[in-house]
Structure formats: C-alpha cells, structure tokens
C-alpha cells in the first residue's frame, strides 16, 4: 500500500500555546517509501518496521485503499506531540527533526519494529478481569461507543474480514474478548458503551466491569478509545476519556470514520476539526497530550500507524 503524504492544517488554538513557537510537521504514511520533500533529509522514512507493517497477509480484497487527499498540512505545537517512552526529546530542537506518524501526533521512536501481524486468533471471552488470560503478555484494549466502528477497525488492523464477528456473537458482546496476535501479544475487544437499546441496569454493569478491567489489568499497555471523527464528540465519549485521564490509564484516541467528510451532515466540520475540538475538551484531564491517530476502515487510513504505535509501546513495555 502506498498512500500519499498528507498534511493537515490544524490551527494552534489559544488553549494550547506552544512554549516557544510551533512546528509544522509533515505527517506521513507508514507505507510511504520515499522521503518527503517537506522534511529535512534526516527525516526520511524508510524503516524496516514500516515496510513490515505494510506487508500483505490474508489481504481482504474487498478493501481497496484509496489515495487520500493531498496537500493539507499540520501545525502541532511540540508540547502536543506524543513522545513515546524511550525517545529523548528535549523540546523545540528535537521537534524540528521529529518523525511523526501520518495523521497523528505520535513521534516515531527506536522501538517501532516488529509491527507486522502474521497470525491473529480468538482465544477466549471473559466476564471478569480475573478470568482473562494469565500468560503475562502485553495487551491493547479497544473500546468505544456502539457503532463507532470498532469491529471494522479490528478487522482492518488484522486484515481479516470477520475476526471481530467473534465479539459480536450472542453472549460475547458483554465480554472481554482476547485475540492473540503473533503468539506474543493481545488485542482485546471490550463491550461497546452507550448502546441506547440496553437497559440502564445493564449499562451500569458494563461500565463496572470494563472499569475494573482498566484499573486491575497489569498487562494492559494502553486503552485505545475509539471516537467517531466524523461527528461532534458525544457527552459519553468525553466522560469516558476524562475517566481514563483522571485514573491515569494510558490512552490512545483513535478517531474513526475519517473518510466521511460531508460538511453539512456533521455540523459543518471536518474530521481534523473534530480531532482538534475533542483534544481541547479533554485537555484538562491530561497532564500531557495523549496520542491520537486518525483512521478509516474504508480507506485503511491509520492502520499501519496504529500497528507502529502499538509496536513501539509494546517493545518498550517488554524491555522495562
Ligand atoms: P461497532 O458497533 O463499533 O463494532 O461498529 P461497526 O464496525 O459494526 O460499524 C458500524 C457502522 O459504521 C457500519 O455500518 C460500518 O460499515 C460503518 N463504519 C465502520 N467504520 C467505518 C469507517 O471507517 N468509515 C465509514 N464511512 N463507515 C464505517
């Protein structure tokens, strides 16, 4: 897959003044093989990990990657970049040469290797944290409002058409579903929240058991909170994000459906603006900007970036 570089114009908002200026950074695709003309030479992007992340496996032929819009540009103050653990980052000087994953605020570091997925297997459904697999390998949990596109994203990440169907089977929707990847880490599918049709009592129970999982699961490297990037943020999403922030649970925000760009239907805003708005709304709950990635399961935007992000968090976690 070769996606064209895309730069997003994200204005610096008053709530986030950069300490001493801001940096215009090129956000580029993990699949891109040639250095961008916008980047200093030192920023050419052709690491082994990126190639690996794009390697085909069980390709879902119904998904045909589209070339995404070109020419947008991002302006992110360096204090809003997410610098993964294991990266020396002193500030302005380092930001100028930072390699940032396309469609995200995530700096690429030395741990971003082994991002390729070669096997993905459903392991088990658990109703309690204590029943989850106990082999001690790292995991990432996907959570989001019902209909946010969680199943589609899970299938897109593992390049399978129907892996996430397992989580949608009757009796499994309220469970913690573990999928073992490459026999070395887990993707965990958590119940969707805010499902209007569920009785209030049931909703509260879901909250209780997912929150217990977040607070007690020692092998949880990061929660991936899915937010619909095509519409304004919902109250329940903000509540979820603030709860994670206040409880200091590591969180990555995954903005879904970023291919949907119809202006009028979504209140006149583009996904980039929703991304910006959401960050402003949650900023008070986080000392440092949480990592975020814009994705689409239709175009596969963000898939390789998610894998590289997971790889660098995971590899660091394993070494420390
Ligand atoms: P879940 O309930 O969170 O698992 O959501 P699903 O993956 O079942 O998706 C809900 C709806 O959103 C379905 O109609 C999907 O086709 C649609 N959808 C999911 N991801 C995307 C996306 O990236 N772009 C667009 N345009 N639609 C999506």
Q: Residue 199: its pLDDT value, please?
A: 63
Atom of ligand 1 nearest to the CA of 226: 3
Q: Residue 74: its pLDDT value, please?
A: 52
Taking the CB of residue 199, how many other CB atoms lie within 10 A of it? Answer: 8
Atom of ligand 1 nearest to the CA of 148: 3
Q: Residue 200: its pLDDT value, please?
A: 63
pLDDT over 90 at 134, yes or no:
yes
The answer to whether the CB of 66 falls within 8 A of the CB of 269 is no
Task: Name the 3-class secondary structure at 210.
Answer: helix
Taking the CB of residue 249, how many other CB atoms lie within 10 A of it? Answer: 17
Indicate whether residue 261 lines ligand 1 (CB < 6 A).
no
Residue 152 alpha carbon to ligand 1 centre in Å: 6
Q: Given CA atoms 262, 60, 30, 282 in this order, what sign does their dihedral have?
A: positive
Burial (CB count within 10 angstroms: exposed 0-12, middle 13-18, buried 19+), residue 314: buried
Atom of ligand 1 nearest to the CA of 296: 23
The answer to whether the CB of 81 falls within 8 A of the CB of 101 is no
Q: Give me the helices (H) in the chain, please.
A: 48-54, 92-95, 150-158, 165-168, 200-216, 235-246, 271-282, 303-319
Closest protein CA for atom 22 of ligand 1: 257
Indicate whether residue 152 lines ligand 1 (CB < 6 A).
yes
Mean pLDDT of 10-30: 32
Indicate whether residue 297 lines ligand 1 (CB < 6 A).
yes
Per-residue DSSP letter, 30:
T
298: Cα separation from own chain's centroid: 16
Region label for 198, one of left (φ > 0), alpha (ψ between -120 and 50) or beta (otherwise): beta
The answer to whether the CB of 114 falls within 8 A of the CB of 48 is no
pLDDT over 70 at 45, yes or no:
no
Closest protein CA for atom 18 of ligand 1: 149
Q: Give me the helices (H) in 176-288, please.
A: 200-216, 235-246, 271-282
Angle between helices 150-158 and 303-319 in degrees, nearest 10: 80
Residue 95 alpha carbon to ligand 1 centre in Å: 35
Residue 19 tokens read as: 């300490």
Residue 305 alpha carbon to ligand 1 centre in Å: 19
Q: Residue 319: its pLDDT value, please?
A: 94
CA-closest candidate to residue 213, choices 142, 315, 122: 142
The answer to whether the CB of 123 falls within 8 A of the CB of 51 is no
Indicate whether residue 148 lines ligand 1 (CB < 6 A).
yes
Indicate whether residue 242 lines ligand 1 (CB < 6 A).
no
Residue 165 alpha carbon to ligand 1 centre in Å: 13
CA atoms within 13 A on the CB side of 221: 23
- Going along 133-219, which residue ranges are E strands? 139-144, 176-181, 185-189
Closest protein CA for atom 17 of ligand 1: 149
Residue 150 alpha carbon to ligand 1 centre in Å: 7
Q: Given CA atoms 314, 317, 318, 319 in this order, what sign does their dihedral have?
A: positive
Closest protein CA for atom 9 of ligand 1: 149
12: Cα separation from own chain's centroid: 22
Mean pLDDT of 73-100: 80
Residue 209 tokens read as: 């058991």
Residue 12 alpha carbon to ligand 1 centre in Å: 30
pLDDT over 90 at 308, yes or no:
yes
Radius of gyration, alpha carbons of the chain: 19
Closest protein CA for atom 12 of ligand 1: 149
Taking the CB of residue 251, how many other CB atoms lie within 10 A of it? Answer: 25
Residue 235 alpha carbon to ligand 1 centre in Å: 20
Helices (H) and strands (E) in the chain, counts: 8, 11
pLDDT over 60 at 71, yes or no:
no
The tens digit of pLDDT for each residue in 175-217 reads 899 999 999 999 999 988 876 666 665 555 667 788 899 999 9
pLDDT over 70 at 307, yes or no:
yes
With the most atoms of ligand 1 within 8 angstroms of its CB, the residue from 152, 160, 234 to mutate is: 152
With the most atoms of ligand 1 within 8 angstroms of its CB, the residue from 155, 173, 191, 297 to mutate is: 297
The answer to whether the CB of 195 falls within 8 A of the CB of 203 is yes
Counted residue by residue, the chain has a size of 320
Compare 52 and 149 and report the one with higher pLDDT: 149
Collect all residues with Cβ–Cβ distance below 8 Å to 55 and sequence separation of at least 6.
Answer: 116
Indicate whether residue 260 lines ligand 1 (CB < 6 A).
yes
């Amino acid at each position: 897959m070769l996606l064209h570089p895309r730069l997003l114009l994200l204005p610096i908002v008053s709530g986030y003044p950069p300490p001493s200026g801001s940096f215009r950074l090129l956000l580029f695709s993990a699949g891109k093989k040639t250095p961008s003309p916008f980047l200093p030479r030192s920023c050419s992007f052709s690491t082994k990990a990126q190639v690996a992340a794009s390697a085909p496996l069980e390709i879902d032929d119904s998904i045909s990657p589209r070339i995404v819009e070109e020419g947008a540009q991002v302006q992110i103050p360096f204090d809003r970049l997410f610098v993964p653990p294991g990266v020396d980052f002193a500030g302005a000087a380092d930001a100028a040469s930072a390699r940032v994953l396309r469609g995200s605020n995530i700096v690429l570091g030395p741990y971003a290797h082994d991002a390729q997925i070669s096997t993905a297997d459903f392991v088990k459904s658990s109703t309690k944290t204590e029943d989850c697999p106990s082999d001690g390998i790292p995991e990432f949990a996907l959570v989001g409002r019902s209909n946010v596109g969680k199943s589609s994203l899970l299938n897109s990440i593992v390049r399978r058409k129907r892996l996430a169907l397992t989580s949608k089977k009757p009796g499994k929707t309220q469970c913690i579903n573990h999928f073992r990847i490459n026999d070395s880490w887990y993707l965990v599918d958590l119940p969707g929240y805010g499902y209007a049709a569920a009785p209030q009592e049931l909703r509260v129970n879901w909250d209780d058991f997912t929150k217990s999982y977040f607070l007690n699961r020692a092998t949880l490297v990061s929660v991936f909170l899915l937010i619909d990037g095509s519409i304004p943020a919902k109250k329940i999403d903000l509540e979820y994000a603030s709860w994670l922030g206040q409880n200091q649970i590591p969180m990555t925000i995954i903005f879904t459906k970023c291919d949907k760009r119809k202006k009028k239907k979504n209140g006149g805003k583009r996904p980039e603006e929703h991304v910006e708005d959401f960050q402003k709304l949650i900023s008070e709950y986080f000392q440092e900007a949480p990592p975020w990635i814009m994705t689409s399961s239709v175009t596969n935007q963000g898939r390789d970036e998610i894998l590289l992000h997971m790889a660098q968090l995971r590899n660091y976690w394993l070494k420390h």
